[in-house]
């Protein structure tokens, strides 16, 4: 049954999980069991910001306090950290896409590689745990985080498949597929993110955290780091921009942030709202229908909550042209959108900005306070970022200067 792509359903999931977000989560969060009873399951709604990180953290703090909920809070901040880290180093996303193109070229000419890749994607490798997770992912659009790590490790070190093809497989099928978390987690498993540090899937660890459901045989016993250049130095964090109060304004939604209420609370008065759909651009291969349908449904839910005159919902190669046509037809002087972190939506906005400019229309990106406060600290590893969490928690609910 498809997940309801609504804010109401996301808030219901949050309310259901809250009693378990403290010490119960810390004790059992790594266990991958049927139905995933020990994790929140909030990631599809968080990924599209139908429910925001700040809302989740505020609710958990109110129920448990920072000490009891430390492990869950860190998981939420991992998501923010990965987004910030990639935002400061967008070239890593570009390099991933180039590596994916090269791997796909190999599939066209290396029959053995293509056979092994297809077996992995179809869950036909003979490795029982891996095959189960491949089928679970394709069927449900979700995997437990621990299973994602095991899966990536087996893909890279046992099956010896290009990591970019595995990251792409996840992005094509995960409803919560996120360019930052997905790409950087695969890099971490392979030893590219934290130089020389890899993650090796071990049969006893899998047996322990699946409560004995799996103990796969024949797994790699060593995990030598993949070869690749070191990450680039970070660039400056984005600062966002302020719209002009008196100009005719349109609001543009995209799948990376579907809670634009703070823009309206800050005085934005759009006369029309349009939507840019980019879930189908997460991969050059076919993206799973449940992924694109959830993103489209989430966008429709956001539009319905805004109660504004509807402009178009656009996707594909003609999306920019259709959005410029909309802005011209509405007589807009500016189009305001929420800042999209590195990924397909950000790439589409980068193409849209000059096209609007040629029509005399500004594109204004509003930067959410949560991101503005956190992303500048994603300069090194997570443990240094973690030191900033108490200060970030102190800043909850406080307005940010425009």
Q: What is the CATH number of the domain that holds 132?
A: 1.10.579.10
Task: Record the tokens describing residue 382, joined without a space.
Answer: 């997570």
Residue 18 resides in a domain: yes
pLDDT of 398 > 70? The answer is no
Tell me if 122 is assigned to some domain: yes
Residue 400: what pLDDT? 46
What gap in Å lies between CA 66 and CA 57, rounded to an integer? 9
User: Is residue 308 very low, low, confident or very high in pLDDT (cuts 50, 70, 90)?
Assistant: confident
Residues 149 and 167 in one domain: yes
Residue 256's domain is classified under what CATH number? 3.40.50.620
Which tens digit of pLDDT belongs to each residue from 75-103?
999 999 999 999 999 999 999 999 999 99
Per the listing, tokens 């939506």 go with 345
Asked whether 364 and 247 are in contact (CB, 8 A), the reply is no
Q: Is residue 229 classed as helix, strand or coil in its secondary structure? A: coil
Please check whether residues 74 and 38 belong to one and the same domain: yes
Q: What strand order describes the sheet that includes 334-338?
A: 310-314, 272-276, 249-254, 334-338, 362-366
Per-residue DSSP letter, 257:
B
Same domain, 84 and 97: no
Same domain, 81 and 104: no
In a domain, 57, yes or no: yes
Q: Which of 209, 227, 262 is the last residue of a domain?
A: 209
Check whether residue 17 and residue 109 sit in a common domain.
no
> Taking residues 331-344, what's their average pLDDT?
97
Residue 342 and residue 363 in one domain: yes
CATH at 36:
1.25.40
Dump pLDDT digits (tens) for 17-69: 999 999 999 999 999 999 999 999 999 999 999 999 999 999 999 999 999 99
pLDDT at 397: 66
Give the total number of structural domains in the chain: 3
> Could you tell me which residues are beta bridge partners of residue 334?
249, 362
Q: How many CB atoms lie under 10 A from the CB of residue 15?
A: 10
Shared domain for 107 and 165, answered yes or no, is: yes
Looking at residue 240, its pLDDT comes to 86
- Residue ending a domain, choose from 156, 187, 209: 209
In a domain, 217, yes or no: no
Report the pLDDT value the prediction gives residue 304, as an integer from 0 to 100.
93
Whether 55 and 21 map to the same domain: the answer is yes
pLDDT at 402 over 60: no
Give 110's contacts (C-beta < 8 A, 6+ positions apart).
none
Q: Are residues 150 and 199 in the same domain?
A: yes
Structure tokens at 390: 């108490």
Looking at residue 401, what is its pLDDT? 37
**What is the structure's pLDDT at 215?**
96
Q: pTM of the predicted model, to two decimals? A: 0.95
**End residue of a domain, out of 186, 209, 232:** 209
> What pLDDT does residue 333 have?
96
- Across the strands, what pairs with 229? none
> For residues 309 and 262, which has the higher predicted lDDT (pLDDT)?
262
3 state DSSP class of 256: coil
Per residue in 356-377, pLDDT (tens digit) is: 999 999 999 999 999 999 999 9
Task: Assess whether 270 and 348 both reside in one domain.
Answer: yes
- Is 215 a domain residue? no
48 plus 145 within the same structural domain: no
Residue 270 sits in which domain range?
A: 249-367
Please check whether residue 243 lies inside any domain of the structure: no
Does residue 46 sit in the same domain as residue 108?
no
pLDDT digits (tens, 9 = 90+) for 269-285: 999 999 999 999 999 99
Helix (H) or strand (E) holding 129: helix 128-140
Q: Is residue 43 domain-resident?
A: yes
Q: Would you say residue 310 lies in a domain?
A: yes
Compute the average pLDDT of residues 173-181.
98
């Amino acid at each position: 049954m498809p997940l309801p792509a609504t804010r109401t359903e996301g808030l219901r999931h949050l309310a259901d999980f809250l009693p378990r977000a403290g010490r119960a989560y810390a004790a059992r969060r790594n266990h991958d069991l049927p139905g995933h009873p020990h994790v929140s399951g909030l990631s599809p709604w968080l990924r599209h910001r139908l429910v925001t990180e700040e809302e989740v953290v505020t609710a958990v703090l109110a129920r448990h306090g920072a000490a009891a909920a430390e492990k869950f809070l860190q998981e939420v901040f991992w998501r923010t950290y990965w987004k910030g880290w990639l935002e400061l180093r967008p070239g890593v996303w570009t390099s991933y896409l180039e590596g994916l193109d090269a791997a796909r070229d190999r599939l066209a000419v290396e029959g053995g590689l293509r056979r092994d890749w297809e077996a992995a994607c179809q869950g036909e490798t003979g490795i029982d745990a891996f095959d189960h997770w491949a089928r679970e992912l394709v069927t449900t659009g979700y995997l437990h985080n621990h299973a994602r790590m095991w899966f990536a490790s087996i893909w890279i070190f046992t099956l010896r498949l290009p990591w970019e093809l595995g990251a792409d497989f996840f992005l094509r099928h995960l409803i919560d597929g996120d360019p930052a978390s997905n790409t950087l987690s695969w890099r971490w498993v392979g030893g590219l993110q934290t130089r020389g540090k890899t993650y090796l899937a071990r049969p006893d660890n899998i047996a322990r955290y699946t409560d004995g459901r799996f103990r796969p045989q024949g797994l790699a016993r060593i995990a030598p780091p993949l070869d690749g250049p070191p990450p680039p130095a970070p660039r400056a964090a984005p600062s966002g921009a302020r719209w002009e109060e008196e100009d005719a304004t349109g609001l543009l939604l995209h799948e990376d942030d579907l809670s634009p209420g703070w823009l309206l609370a800050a005085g934005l008065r759009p006369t029309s709202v349009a939507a840019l759909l980019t879930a189908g651009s997460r991969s050059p291969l076919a993206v799973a229908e449940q992924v694109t349908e959830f993103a489209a449904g989430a966008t429709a839910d956001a539009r319905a909550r805004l109660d504004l005159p509807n402009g178009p919902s656009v996707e594909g190669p003609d999306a920019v042209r259709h959005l410029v046509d909309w802005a011209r037809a509405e007589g807009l002087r500016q189009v305001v959108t929420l800042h999209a972190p590195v990924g397909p939506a950000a790439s589409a906005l980068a193409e849209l900005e000059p096209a609007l400019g040629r029509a005399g229309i500004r594109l204004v990106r509003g930067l959410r306070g949560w991101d503005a406060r956190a992303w500048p600290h994603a300069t090194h590893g997570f443990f240094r970022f973690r030191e900033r969490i108490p200060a970030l928690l102190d800043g909850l609910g406080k307005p940010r200067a425009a």
